């Protein structure tokens, strides 16, 4: 039996550029795969990103850089509002799982995590000890931070690192991407971009980080996170989330189309 830690990219489950637009078809396809994996006897843990339920307001009020005296009141309002929006997106994911007869339990980071980056503080044991047959879910969120910052953005990629490294028994760690088949030799918009099937730390990539919509680190943070996880977990992959059946193929055959991250 495998234990698969999956991250649904925010750009996969929402339209990133349009405020709070959820992609229910993409989410439903993912739920079907989770149901199939459970049917095969595997355990699944899910982390999801924020997409347009988090990044746009966070960008507008500069939440990632913490409290700023001149706009603190608006920032506090934005923090509450982003947290509510994230709960709403999370409910979409959970409802879809439930429509596929999968029971899940959510762990919103604003309730249990503090500070940002992969060394954030927070107790992962409730996620680890979630009842058998129940899929634990957590997600990128606005978390409280020590002064002077007061608040900041904890990315789902940082949660992947900590869960991947600290919860024992995880065999596969999969980043499901919204706009690409894996890591490409050039940005996805470039027609000459080719899929890189295996990526090793320090191998150069020419990625792009769309700072107009993304307040966390884009593909570079994902690579760094995946590379850290691959020190512990053997099967770390970037896979096209629009074709989640590739996850089943990976589990059944040991390989699929995507990028494997190795040490």
Q: Is 247 exposed, middle or buried (0-12, 13-18, 19+ CB in 10 A)?
A: buried
Q: Which of the residues 95 through 134 are near ligand IP8 (CB under 6 A)?
A: none
Scanning 48-56, 167-175, 180-188, 225-233 for contacts with ligand IP8 by CB under 6 A, the matching segment is 48-56
- Does residue 173 interact with ligand IP8 by CB under 6 A? no
Nearer to ligand IP8 by Cβ, of 36 and 224: the residue is 224
- Does residue 58 interact with ligand IP8 by CB under 6 A? yes
Inter-CA distances, 89 with 5, 14, 35, 54, Å? 19, 9, 20, 10
Q: Kindly tell me which residue out of 122, 152, 156, 164 binds ligand IP8, with binding defined by CB under 6 A.
A: 156
- Does residue 23 interact with ligand IP8 by CB under 6 A? no
Q: Kindly tell me which residue out of 8, 10, 32, 170 binds ligand IP8, with binding defined by CB under 6 A.
A: 10
Lay out the sheet containing 151-154: strands in order across: 121-122, 113-114, 141-144, 151-154
Pair 200, 262: CB distance under 8 Å: yes
- Does residue 162 interact with ligand IP8 by CB under 6 A? no
CB of 12 to ligand IP8, least distance (A): 10
Scanning 17-25, 36-44, 49-57, 198-206 for contacts with ligand IP8 by CB under 6 A, the matching segment is 49-57
Number of residues that bind ligand IP8 (CB under 6 A): 17
Nearer to ligand IP8 by Cβ, of 30 and 82: the residue is 82
- Does residue 82 interact with ligand IP8 by CB under 6 A? yes
Distance CA 157, CA 221 (A): 7
Q: Is 258 exposed, middle or buried (0-12, 13-18, 19+ CB in 10 A)?
A: buried
User: Token pair for residue 184?
Assistant: 């490409």
CB of 255 to ligand IP8, least distance (A): 26
Nearer to ligand IP8 by Cβ, of 90 and 216: the residue is 216
Distance CA 119, CA 222 (A): 15
Distance CA 9, CA 16 (A): 10
For residues 201 to 240, the per-residue mask of contacts with ligand IP8, x marking binding by CB under 6 A and - elsewhere, is --------------xx------------------------
Residue with tokens 């000890």: 129
Q: Which residues bind ligand IP8 (CB under 6 A)?
A: 10, 49-50, 54-55, 58, 82, 86, 140-142, 153, 155-157, 215-216
């Amino acid at each position: 039996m495998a234990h698969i830690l999956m991250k649904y990219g925010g750009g996969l489950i929402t339209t990133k550029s349009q405020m709070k637009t959820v992609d229910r078809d993409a989410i439903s396809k993912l739920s079907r795969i989770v149901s199939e994996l459970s049917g095969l006897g595997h355990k699944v843990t899910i982390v999801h990103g924020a997409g347009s339920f988090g990044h746009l307001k966070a960008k507008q009020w500069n939440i990632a850089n913490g409290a700023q005296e001149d706009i603190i009141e608006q920032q506090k309002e934005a923090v509450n509002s982003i947290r509510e929006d994230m709960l709403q997106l999370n409910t979409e994911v959970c409802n879809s799982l439930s429509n596929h007869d999968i029971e899940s339990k959510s762990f919103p980071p604003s309730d249990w995590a503090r500070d940002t980056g992969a060394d954030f503080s927070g107790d992962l044991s409730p996620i680890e000890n979630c009842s058998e047959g129940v899929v634990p879910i957590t997600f990128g969120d606005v978390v409280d931070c020590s002064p002077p910052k007061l608040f900041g953005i904890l990315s789902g990629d940082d949660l992947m690192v900590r869960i991947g490294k600290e919860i024992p028994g995880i065999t596969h760690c999969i980043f499901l991407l919204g706009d690409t088949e894996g890591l490409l030799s050039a940005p996805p918009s470039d027609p000459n971009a080719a899929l890189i099937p295996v990526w090793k730390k320090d191998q150069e990539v020419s990625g792009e980080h769309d700072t107009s919509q993304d307040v966390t680190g884009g593909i570079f943070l994902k690579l760094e996170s995946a590379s850290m996880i691959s020190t512990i977990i053997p099967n770390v992959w970037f896979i096209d989330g629009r074709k989640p059946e590739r996850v089943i193929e990976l589990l059944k055959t040991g390989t699929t189309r995507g990028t494997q991250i190795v040490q």
